[in-house]
């Protein structure tokens, strides 16, 4: 049975992992006969957002690992313990946490800084040519990990695509229910909620991403 490492970035679309994307991803991994282990960096979130109002919550501090444990039902490990040699593939769901907590793309664009453990783990999979899938805004992270004009997508947003290209990638426009595959890098990306208007649209692209990642030799 193949084993997939899944990196989460908190709990909630505006300040962490997009929950629908994470759950669909985990379900798709199991539906395709593979197992997963969730990881998250043990660091403070950039900020906390009230998901009812969409406004920041002043003075509140939350931990990315602790919040991610909500999605993983407690079965999660600090990202510092992730060893790429123990896994066959990597998947990183989206949500703004990927661009706020795993890196600073949401604030700094092409001048982003990247969490050290996140970059170490992601590059370990890339350097070992192990398949990886990044969804939604998470390909901004992949752009820095792979660079070298790696082909990827966040959908069709021109401004975000320009920022990703500035990190060294080659953005390709993609509909919500499709994926972009860079076979040389063994990287698969899909727009998910960068374009999805409902959970069914997100489901189609995310399941295709997981199926493709697990099928890459």
Task: Write down the domain spans for the chain.
Answer: 3-215
* pLDDT (average), residues 131-158: 96
Residue 84: its pLDDT value, please? 98
Other beta carbons within 10 angstroms of residue 99's beta carbon come to 27
Give the pLDDT band of residue 217 (cuts 50, 70, 90). confident
Q: What percent of the chain has pLDDT over 90?
A: 96
Of 108, 97, 210, the closest CA to residue 164 belongs to 108
User: Given 38, 82, 136, 174, which residue is catalytic?
Assistant: 136
Predicted TM-score of the model (pTM): 0.97
Res. 85: pLDDT tops 80: yes
Angle among Cα 49, 55, 161 to the nearest 5 degrees reads: 75
Q: Is 136 a catalytic site residue? A: yes
Class of domain 3-215: alpha beta
Tens digits of residue pLDDT in 15-62: 999 999 999 999 999 999 999 999 999 999 999 999 999 999 999 999
């Amino acid at each position: 049975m193949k084993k997939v490492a899944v990196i989460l970035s908190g709990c909630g679309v505006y300040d962490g992992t997009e929950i629908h994307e994470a759950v669909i991803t985990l379900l798709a991994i199991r539906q395709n006969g593979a197992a997963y282990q969730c990881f998250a960096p043990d660091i403070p979130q950039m900020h906390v957002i009230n998901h009812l109002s969409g406004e920041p919550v002043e003075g509140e501090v939350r931990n990315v690992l602790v919040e991610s444990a909500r999605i993983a039902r407690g079965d999660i490990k600090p990202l510092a313990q992730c060893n790429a040699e123990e896994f066959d593939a990597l998947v990183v769901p989206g949500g703004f946490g990927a661009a706020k907590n795993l890196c600073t793309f949401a604030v700094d664009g092409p001048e982003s800084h990247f969490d050290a453990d996140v970059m170490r783990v992601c590059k370990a999979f890339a350097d070992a040519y192990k398949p990886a899938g990044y969804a939604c805004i998470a390909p901004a992270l992949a752009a820095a990990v792979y660079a070298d004009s790696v082909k990827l997508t966040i959908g069709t947003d021109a401004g975000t695509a320009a920022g990703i290209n500035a990190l060294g990638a080659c953005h390709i426009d993609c509909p919500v229910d499709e994926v972009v595959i860079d076979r040389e890098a063994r990287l698969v990306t899909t727009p998910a909620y960068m374009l999805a208007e409902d959970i069914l649209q997100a489901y189609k692209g995310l399941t295709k991403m997981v199926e493709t990642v697990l099928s890459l030799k």
